[in-house]
């Protein structure tokens, strides 16, 4: 009867699977755990940002959710986890612009107005709309409103606002100054 010798202690070299290669690529970018924590920490502030740029809560929620979906699908390209929030803010601003463009185009194409249908979200948004600051913000030019929202609501520096909107630092300062002046006039405050 032949004797079977035990296998040697050394293992043959292992070839990494495709899944392991994908995990290494995600490790170099933004991880799903980091994105989940960012969602928990900043969802409300991003929703507020969208609310100041759009005019109904349902669209705001859609824009913020879409922003997180886009960041999730592009997480391998976001190499620095510190830039995830900035990327999300810029995505929310861009998606808000797109939503407003689609809405304007839809209004132009409508032959007759749709009947007003109240929803639960509109009741919550009506409470925000009563604030005189929000009313005054709606009267500003688009760029002025975007600069003021990012600068004072999102607590971004002027340089961060310039990078997010793709403007020069001087333009951000000018839009901000003109926007504040217009707010003072709209709200009846004395300078």
List, for residues 53-77, the tens digit of each pLDDT value: 888 888 889 999 999 888 888 877 7
Q: Using one digit for the tens of pLDDT, what is the confidence trace for 155-180?
A: 899 999 999 999 999 999 999 999 99
Q: What is the average pLDDT across 98-112?
A: 77
All CATH 1.10.1740 domain ranges in the chain, comma separated? 29-108
More reliable by pLDDT, 6 or 114: 114
Which CA distances in Å does 178 have to 147, 152, 181? 10, 14, 5
Q: Is the pLDDT of residue 143 over 90?
A: yes
pTM given for the model: 0.48
| Distance of alpha carbon 127 from the chain centroid | 23
Question: 29-108 has which CATH code?
Answer: 1.10.1740
Q: Which of 5-9, 122-126, 181-185 is the least confident region?
A: 5-9
Q: Is the distance from CB of 89 to CB of 49 less than 8 angstroms?
A: yes
Contact 67, 74 (CB under 8 A): no
- Residue 24's pLDDT band, with cuts at 50, 70 and 90, is very low
The whole-number pLDDT of residue 101 equals 87
How much is the mean pLDDT over the chain?
Answer: 77
What pLDDT score does 130 carry? Answer: 59
Fold of the 141-190 domain = Arc Repressor Mutant, subunit A (1.10.10)
Residues of the chain with CATH 1.10.10.10: 141-190
């Amino acid at each position: 009867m032949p004797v079977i010798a035990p296998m040697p202690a050394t293992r043959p070299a292992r070839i990494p699977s495709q899944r392991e290669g994908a995990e290494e690529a995600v490790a170099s970018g933004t991880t799903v755990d980091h994105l989940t924590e960012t969602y928990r920490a900043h969802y409300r502030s991003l929703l507020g940002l969208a609310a100041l740029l759009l005019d109904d809560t349902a669209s705001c929620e859609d824009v913020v959710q879409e922003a997180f979906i886009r960041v999730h699908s592009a997480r391998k390209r976001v190499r620095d986890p510190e830039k995830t929030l900035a990327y999300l803010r810029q995505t929310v601003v861009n998606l808000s612009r797109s939503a407003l463009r689609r809405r304007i185009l839809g209004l132009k194409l409508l032959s007759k107005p749709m009947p007003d249908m109240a929803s639960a979200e509109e009741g919550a948004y009506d409470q925000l709309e009563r604030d005189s600051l929000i009313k005054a913000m709606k009267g500003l030019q688009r760029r002025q409103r975007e600069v003021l929202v990012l600068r004072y609501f999102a607590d971004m520096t002027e340089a961060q606002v310039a990078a997010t909107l793709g403007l020069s630092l001087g333009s951000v300062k000018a839009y901000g100054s003109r926007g504040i002046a217009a707010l003072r006039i709209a709200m009846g405050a004395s300078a």
